[in-house]
């Protein structure tokens, strides 16, 4: 059997204390394909962590049966710093309460050093292994001063040479949806179908999210090699809303992830037939964020998961003092994939998001989960 749990110690933030990251490892190190999965990078988003608990149970069985062919690394709780951030009984796990900001931003961009490195090779001599070996060394060389630096470096080191990187998050209130690094990856469509994603949004942003940090070097490598090097399909998977931790969906989601891993030959065994697609893959630039135009109470008129046509009303904002009502309508429409948990409208804040077919606007910092 290959399964073991490893604990990686972070740099201390206070004298005499330190935190660790718990890592489940399956398969022979270096075996391909490699998959890396992590949960609760935004530490108050726990549905993914519970799905990974069930996935680990399934993988332990597969390991006993000798069915693991590739390498599998699972970190169910990726953010021990954020897990400890409670303010008067409220868990605030999305952003570092120190100076680090959003936990899913500003990962090291290894594209520039990779670009320089690959410039020394003839394009036909650039292989997936050339890229992987360089990325491993570059992550090792990242300097770290703070506990948060060491967390980011630890997670990136586990993921950077993987063929598949799945970062499990959730929205406030939403169906399952996914941000993909690359819609042209041969497994992109089957992943969205295996996940049962109601929306699938493809592209990399300028925010250097964990997904972007893992995928972006491969885009550079493909450009220099002059052919697609599908080294990493990275996905930020949004598993419904923050309160959607339940037994039935977690079991089902773990089963779906397991089927995908069979489909791409990380695991032995015949996967279940590919489920139907709910939505085409749409561009990140086609995401429409609906914003509050006045202060008031938000009353949603439509449900996340629904298809909304151009110009339809998604919500109303009601000011009970003046009696004014405002209709919040879509511009181009698309799949309504999530809305905020609060019902207090603050002018200018995003209250709902839709995935549309046509590129029309940039994704805002505030609205990206």
Binding residues for Zn ion (CB under 5 A): 42, 45, 169, 369
HEC-encoded secondary structure of the chain:
CCCEEEEEECCCCCCCCCCEEEEEEECCCCCCCEEEEEECCCCCCCHHHHHHHHHHHHHHHHHHCCCECCEEEEECCCCHHHHCCEECCEECCCEECCCCEECCCCCCCCHHHHHHHHCCCCHHHCCHHHHHHHHHHHHHCCCCCCHHHHHHHHHHHHHCCCCEEEEEEEECECCEEEEECCCCCCCHHHHHHHHCCCEEEECCCCCCCHHHHHHHHHHHHHHHHCCCCCCCEEEEEEEEECCCCCHHHHHHHHHHHHHHHHHCCCECCCCCCCCCCCCCEEEHHHEEEEECCCCEEEEECCCCCCEECCCCEEEEEECCCCCCEEEEECCCCEEEEEECCCCEECCCCEEEEEECCCCCCCCCCCCCC
Residue closer to Zn ion (CB basis): 162 or 367:
367
Q: To the nearest whole angstrom, how small is the minimum distance from the Cβ of residue 195 to Zn ion?
A: 16
Q: To the nearest whole angstrom, how small is the minimum distance from the Cβ of residue 369 to Zn ion?
A: 4
Residue closer to Zn ion (CB basis): 18 or 95:
95
Residue closer to Zn ion (CB basis): 152 or 169:
169
Q: To the nearest whole angstrom, how small is the minimum distance from the Cβ of residue 339 to Zn ion?
A: 15
Q: To the nearest whole angstrom, how small is the minimum distance from the Cβ of residue 18 to Zn ion?
A: 25
d(CA 73, CA 35): 6
Contact criterion met (CB below 8 Å) for 158 and 164 = no
Q: Residues near 154 by Cβ (< 8 Å), separated by ≥ 6? A: 8, 10, 21
Residue closer to Zn ion (CB basis): 241 or 296:
241
Residue closer to Zn ion (CB basis): 127 or 205:
205
Q: To the nearest whole angstrom, how small is the minimum distance from the Cβ of residue 178 to Zn ion?
A: 12
Q: To the nearest whole angstrom, how small is the minimum distance from the Cβ of residue 257 to Zn ion?
A: 18
Residue closer to Zn ion (CB basis): 45 or 194:
45
Q: Which residue has the closest beta carbon to Zn ion?
A: 169
Q: To the nearest whole angstrom, how small is the minimum distance from the Cβ of residue 169 to Zn ion?
A: 3
Residue closer to Zn ion (CB basis): 6 or 342:
342
- ∠ CA 214-170-82, nearest 5°, is 75
Residue closer to Zn ion (CB basis): 334 or 369:
369
d(CA 281, CA 329): 23
Residue closer to Zn ion (CB basis): 242 or 262:
242
Q: To the nearest whole angstrom, how small is the minimum distance from the Cβ of residue 351 to Zn ion?
A: 17
State whether the Cα torsion 159-160-161-167 is positive or negative. positive
Residue closer to Zn ion (CB basis): 49 or 292:
49
Q: To the nearest whole angstrom, how small is the minimum distance from the Cβ of residue 90 to Zn ion?
A: 17
For residue 162, give the nearest of 26, 6, 65, 259 by alpha carbon.
26
């Amino acid at each position: 059997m290959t399964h073991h749990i490893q604990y990686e110690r972070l740099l201390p933030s206070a004298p005499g204390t330190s935190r660790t990251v718990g890592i489940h490892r399956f398969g022979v190190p270096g075996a391909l394909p490699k998959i890396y999965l992590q949960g609760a990078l935004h530490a108050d988003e726990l549905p993914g962590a519970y799905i990974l608990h069930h996935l680990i149970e399934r993988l332990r069985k597969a390991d006993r049966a000798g069915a693991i062919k590739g390498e599998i690394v699972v970190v169910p709780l990726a953010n021990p710093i954020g897990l400890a951030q409670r303010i008067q009984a409220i868990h605030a796990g999305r952003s570092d309460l120190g100076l680090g900001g959003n936990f899913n931003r500003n990962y090291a961009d290894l594209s520039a050093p990779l670009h320089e490195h690959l410039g020394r090779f003839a394009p036909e001599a650039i292989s997936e292994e050339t890229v992987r070996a360089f990325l491993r060394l570059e992550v090792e060389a990242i300097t770290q001063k703070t506990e948060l630096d060491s967390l980011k470096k630890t997670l990136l080191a586990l993921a950077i040479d993987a063929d598949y990187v799945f970062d499990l998050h959730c929205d406030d209130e939403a169906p399952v949806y996914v941000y993909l690094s690359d819609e042209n990856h041969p497994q992109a469509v089957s992943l969205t179908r295996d996940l049962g994603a109601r929306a699938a949004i493809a592209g990399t942003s300028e925010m250097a999210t964990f997904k972007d940090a893992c995928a972006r070097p491969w885009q550079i490598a493909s450009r220099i090699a002059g052919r697609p090097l599908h080294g990493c399909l990275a996905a930020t998977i949004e598993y419904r809303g923050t309160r959607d931790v339940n037994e039935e969906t977690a079991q089902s989601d773990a089963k779906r992830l397991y089927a995908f891993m069979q489909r791409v030959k990380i695991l032995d065994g015949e996967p279940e037939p590919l489920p139907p697609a709910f939505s085409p893959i749409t561009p990140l630039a086609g995401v429409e964020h609906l914003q509050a135009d006045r202060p008031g109470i938000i009353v949603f008129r439509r449900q996340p998961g629904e298809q909304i046509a151009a110009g339809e009303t998604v919500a109303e904002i009601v000011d009970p003092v003046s009696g004014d009502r405002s209709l919040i309508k879509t511009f181009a429409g698309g799949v309504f994939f999530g809305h905020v948990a609060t019902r207090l409208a603050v002018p200018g804040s995003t209250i709902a998001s839709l995935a549309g077919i046509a590129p029309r606007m940039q994704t805002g910092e505030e609205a990206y989960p």
